[in-house]
Structures are given as C-alpha cells and as structure tokens.
Structure 1
C-alpha cells in the first residue's frame, strides 16, 4: 500500500519534472503503487474544440479517448460533474447516485468498462481563474478502488496538477500579487459591501485615500468597476471568498 513517505517523495519528485513525459512517468509510478492501470490529469473542456485551452496527460486507451472526445464528454462526463461538487476527492463507486441524473450516464460508464476502465477515484483541482480539472486513477473492471489509494491520491493530486500547469504555462511562476496590502484591504471591505466612509473609518484613512486605493486597484486589473475588480482579484488569488465571508 502507498505510504505517507511515498507521497512526500512523489511531491518532491514532481517539482523537478521538466516536461509532460516526465510527469506521465511519475503518474504511471503512482499507478503501480496503488495497483491500478490508468491515470488521467485533465481540465474539463472540449479538447476537440479548444485543444490549447487546457491540459491533459493520460494513459487511457486511445479508442476510449477518441470516443470520449467525439461526444464532448469533457464537459458532461459524470465523473467530471461529480468532481465539480467535491473538494477532497472520491471513489467512483460512491458517486453512484449521480449516475442517474442524466440518461446517458450509465451508458458512458458502461462504455468505459468496455474499454477496460472499471472502478476508480478522482481528486478535483479547483484553481481560481482556471476551468475545473481533476486527477483520476482507475482500475480494470472487476477490481474496486480502495480508501488507501484515495488517501494517497489526495496527497499527490494537487502537486501533480500544479506541476502540469507549470509545464504547460511557464509564465505562471512569474505572476505575483497585483495588489498592494492597502489596495487588497480596501477591496476586501468593499467586497463585503461597506461604503467608502465606513472603510475609511475602519482603516484609519480618509475617504479620498480609500477611493485612490480602489482606483489604483482597478487600474492594475484594467477593471472598469468594483464587481469586475472583485471577480478578477478572486480569480487571480489576490483575495479569497474566505476573506470576504469572514467577519
């Protein structure tokens, strides 16, 4: 069974990966540790329509990948839909209630089995500014995914997806916060719904200074209004929903 030490070693190795082939090798090694056959690290998009918009690294049978893409299942696959409602990761056999939501769900799962893909597990990748993504591991039909494998996958899924993003988009590592501390604080209070005068009183500033901070923040994000500024700052990770929600 995979160990915590093995997960730590994977997380270290994945930071040294230079290309997709190297990451695929590491994911194959993770498969071997868990006793599964398949892996798929992917954004949930229509890859035939927009192949450059997302990342996908997998070892699924090519016939299955072709069947999957022809039907635009990157957007509607039941496993992908389940991952969009989950943060921690899940075993596929625990998502069975979802499989009845759409008439084609059981057909998709059945077709996967026909291509040699049985039970599995998925760790979601929810990153501000990105479309949804996930890291999945699957076993051949007749073998059940297990809780120990899910624990291991939870520890390595995030580092693996982050490594894939750094490989695909090298410029990401050079992107830092766009807002100063003062701009960020003003924006958080504004996003909570506080008026300028109240923000000024809380921060010990003049109303004009608060307006200047928010104006400069909009300029940094090329935003023409407060809502656009808030959304873009959330996407970039300059602020978080927790920042806005906490009292």
Structure 2
C-alpha cells in the first residue's frame, strides 16, 4: 500500500474520532492536500429559483469568493453546479460538458473562481437526509490530472465525511420547519385542492393560503407541490399516513 492510500484509510479510521466538524474538515483538507486540493464545500443543490446559501452544511471555500457567489447567485450560471443535476457520477470540474460550460455566464463564473484560487476541482454526489441532491466539491488552485486511483480515494473520503456529518446532525435535537397550518395546507394541496378550495375547507382567505404555500416552498427549498411533499416526507414534517388520508379525501 502506497503512502497516499495509507493516509486515506487512516483518515477513514479517524473520521468518527473528531468531536467537532471543524476538526474533521481540517483533517480532510490535510489528506486531500496530497492530491492538490486546498478547499472543499459540502452542500445541497438549489432547484429553480431557490438559493444555495441555506443548503450549505460545511464550507471551506475562500470567503471572498463565496460572498460573491451568493451575492450574484452564481449557482444558476455555474456549469459545475448545473451539470450535477444531470448526473450522479463524480467528475472533475474541467470535464463539464459543453452544454453547460457554453451557457451564458458560465465562463465568467469559472474565470472569477480561478481568480480566487479555484482553478480546478472534483465534485462527488453524496447522500443527505435533508436535501434531494447534495455533493462535496474539492477545489484546487491549479489544473490537476487525477488518476482513477486518485478519484476512488476522493470518492471514498467524501462519502465517509458526509456520512460523519450527517450522523452528527441526527444526534442534534430538531424542530419542525412547518407550522401546523402550513402542514394542513400542504396536505390539502397534495390532494389536488386549489388555493380557493383550501381556503373554504380551512375557513381562511385564498390570499392567506397562497402565502402559506409560498412559505412552505421556501422553507423546504421546493419548486412545486410534488417536490414540497417529497421534501416534507423526507424531513418528517408529514407522514405517509397523513398523506394517504389527504389523498383519500379526493373522492
């Protein structure tokens, strides 16, 4: 076993020994530094007009770059981010397909990222209990040539790191995002009821129903009702029993 491979497996053995996430990330960045990376981020990916900012779980990208990325909503033009919606396979940033890299603004985002020390990178889709699509992305200040063995090592470390972070979050007490009224609105709309129908059923104004619907989508980072229901089920905001009961009310 080579030195790099040994370092990877030793990191995996240490993953659950770190009490603080920051210590875990310090350790990860030290190991991936041998592959040429200096930065990383673990985040969910935004859908349609939502923002990536509330989806970030851990971030070790240069702060000045990240501030600009958020301020200018670059996720919508970032070719790396956009390609993630079409594949579940890890890939190097320089391997982004032309259909994404040629879109308006994509070259500008890549150029500005390079100015902030993010010339190249490697992104790995990972499991998240909160988001329908998440990834760990490693960033480097220079162009890299990764061998299949290098990619395998990065994939492995990304999966173990994300799993360790998820386990820590599971141990933390959680509070429901949705109010009881918002859950009612979501269940009725999932049954195919219009905003007017829901307003009559719940005895509130149609304007209020629309407000609750907008709040639900914002809180769950959902693009439509179907997506909101899936996210609510995933996060325990509603149960399959409640959903089945609401669907039964269609008849």
| TMscore range, shorter length | 0.5 to 0.7
Cα-Cα RMSD: 2.9
Residue 158 of structure 1 aligns with which residue?
Answer: 159
Cα 1:149–1:170 change in 2 (3 A) is: same
Residue 36 of structure 2 aligns with which residue?
Answer: 35
* Contact 1:99 1:106 (8 Å CA) reproduced: no
5+ residue gaps, structure 1: 173-218, 229-247
Where 1:223 maps in the other structure, the secondary structure is: helix
Cα 1:15–1:112 change in 2 (3 A) is: same
- Work out the number of aligned pairs and report it: 177
C-alpha distance in structure 2 between counterparts of 1:109 and 1:2, whole Å = 33
Alignment of 1:124-139 (within 5 A): 124-127=125-128, 130-139=131-140
TM, length-normalised to structure 1: 0.61
Residue 121 of structure 1 aligns with which residue?
Answer: 122
Aligned-residue offset at 1:71? 2.1
Aligned-residue offset at 1:84? 3.1
Residue 18 of structure 2 aligns with which residue?
Answer: 17
Aligned-residue offset at 1:14? 1.2
Residue 57 of structure 1 aligns with which residue?
Answer: 59
Alpha-carbon displacement from aligned partner over 1:118-167 (angstroms, at most 9, x marks no partner): 111111114465232111222213x3241243221111111111112223
Alignment of 1:49-198 (within 5 A): 50=54, 53-58=55-60, 60-74=61-75, 77-100=78-101, 102-127=103-128, 130-141=131-142, 143-147=143-147, 148-171=149-172
* Contact 1:120 1:145 (8 Å CA) reproduced: no
Where 2:41 maps in the other structure, the secondary structure is: strand
Residue 244 of structure 2 aligns with which residue?
Answer: 225
C-alpha distance in structure 1 between counterparts of 2:139 and 2:144, whole Å = 9
Cα 1:79–1:126 change in 2 (3 A) is: farther
* Contact 1:83 1:123 (8 Å CA) reproduced: no
5+ residue gaps, structure 2: 174-237
TM, length-normalised to structure 2: 0.60
